Amino acid sequence: MIDILYRTRQKENLDKDVLNFLSSLNEDVNILSYDILGTQAHCLMLNKIGILTSDELSKILSSLSKIKYESKNKEMIQNLPSKDELFLSEDIHELIESIVIQDIGIDIGGKMHTGRSRNDQVILDVRMKLRDDVINICELIINIIKSLIEKSKEHTNTIISLYTHLQQAQIGTVSHYLLSYSFNLLRDLERLSSSFEKINLSPLGSCAIGGTGIPIDRNYTASLLGFQGLVENSIDATSSRDSMIQYLSFLSILMSTLSRIAEDFILWSTSEFNYIELSDRYSSTSSVMPQKKNPDPLEIIRSRTSIVIGMLISSFSLVKNLPSGYHRDLQDLKPLLSNSATIVKESLLIMKGIIDTFKVNKKNTLHSANKSYGVSLDIAEQIVIKYNIPFRKVHKLIGTLVQHAVKNKNILLSQISKEDVNKILKFTDIQIDLEELMVILKDTTPEKSILFRNSYGSPNPMQQKDMVNSIEKSLLVYCKVLSQRKELLHAALDNLEKEVILNTNVNSEKNNEI
């Protein structure tokens, strides 16, 4: 039995309640595998500079490999003999080191922490997890954009009212609407992807705050772990968390995009709108009302957006008054990062499933558009083009026609009688042919409205086709970037694994020779 590793000055062990209060072991399950990888790389480096002999390295790597194997079951920490003082650890770093020392002894195991601190160790683990999460989330965003594009192709000509202030505004298409969120998510993808390069820098070797006198090779460990460079300043490396907070802010913006989509789908699936119907697989029901088909998954996405934003605000509050250097407060940033990532991943998966499976009630969307006055601007613009009349005058004319239609039981503009149109026209100083005006009023349908508008980015089918091409080209670029990042990380970690196996086998070969 050995004493608890890190309590050399204190004569007494931590109070049990204090230990429970300080311990991050339950949360550290999320970074356990990364801590082992980081320790393997660090020990390989210690061997390279002569701190560890090949035999010592082999024994440490062998012990770490056993922990790695056992840790694949996440119940490892819960199943540890809690009564044993050895396992009264404050975090995963102390726990792993304790297990290794118990396994191979302190004379060898006690060397593995040479030239590093928990301060650079923990941020190393966090950065490694975050870069994996960034890649994973970016892939999920790409998948959901692809789903939006495929759905939009099905509804290039599906008419729907576009809304401002939740009032029917202009005529659009379901495709145009879905593509709008594709572009929004593309920006979310761009933001999140950009965070990878800031996160993928190694802090290992910065030690507690001011570096170390051990002749370590920071570039070597960074290379083994797949980092593209170093966080240069040791104070910055161990105490700064701005890259993590930026990452959380990007997740919050992404969730706000998903929440807005959710809100639209919730409204559109109501009996009053009845624009879309959610799949039974993505709907809930009532315990007492058998007719209910509730959009609960969308409501949870909307709710969890608030939780992710709350965790972002918590992270700001957590760091805003910290002096330079590492402080235990930063421990509480870990669950904010991992919980936010979990929520985002789950939300993206659920939203993709909803997009893939919801059905559009085309008759209802068209009927609603036909009943609206969404063609009013199109009518006004045709008059402006044909007669070169100031838009403001035409605006007043069409507004008066709409007012008349509403007062007459909400009839369509095309249903206003010729006589009434002529009366209204006489009260203006607009000189246009009555017959031509009647033709414009009767011919401007929602379908023709879409074709009339051909400005860049409009719902015109040709514009939608160009938008799809633009988004797909952008996705190809990001898919390539993600593929390259994954390949580089896999290559680095595969090489690390080979080095671990090679250096572990050194001891086995020596034993065989004996």
Among the listed residues 54, 194, 279, 286, the single catalytic one is 286
Rounded distance between C-alpha atoms, residue 216 and residue 429, angstroms: 86
Active-site residue flag, 202 = no
Identify whether the C-beta of residue 188 lies closer than 8 Å to the C-beta of residue 254.
Answer: yes
Identify whether the C-beta of residue 100 lies closer than 8 Å to the C-beta of residue 36.
Answer: no
Active-site residue flag, 286 = yes
End-to-end alpha-carbon separation of the chain, Å? 30
Is the CA virtual torsion 431, 432, 435, 437 positive or negative?
A: negative
Question: What DSSP designation does 231 have?
Answer: -
Rounded distance between C-alpha atoms, residue 514 and residue 508, angstroms: 10
Query: What is the β-pairing status of strands 359-360 and 167-173?
Result: unpaired
Identify whether the C-beta of residue 276 lies closer than 8 Å to the C-beta of residue 360.
Answer: yes
Rounded distance between C-alpha atoms, residue 309 and residue 88, angstroms: 34
DSSP for 289-334 reads -TT--B-HHHHHHHHHHHHHHHHHHHHHHHHTTPPSS--GGGGGHH
Rounded distance between C-alpha atoms, residue 40 and residue 27, angstroms: 21
CA neighbours closer than 13 Å in the CB half-sphere of residue 472: 11
Please report, for residues 16, 210, 238, 241, the alpha-carbon distance to residue 324 in angstroms, rounded to integers and kept in the order given. Answer: 30, 12, 9, 11
Identify whether the C-beta of residue 359 lies closer than 8 Å to the C-beta of residue 276.
Answer: yes
Q: Which of 352, 344, 193 is nearest to 255 (CA)?
A: 344
Strand, coil or helix: what is 286? Answer: coil
b/e map of 18-39 (b: 16 or more CB within 10 Å)? eeeeebbbebbbbbbbbbbbbb
Among the listed residues 165, 271, 287, 455, the single catalytic one is 165
Strand, coil or helix: what is 163? Answer: strand
Is the CA virtual torsion 277, 281, 285, 291 positive or negative?
A: positive
- What H or E segment, with its residue span, contains residue 437? helix 434-443
Structure tokens at 283: 């709907």
Helix axes 376-387, 434-443, angle to 10 degrees: 140
For the chain, give the longest Cα–Cα distance: 112
**Which positions are annotated as active-site residues?**
165, 286
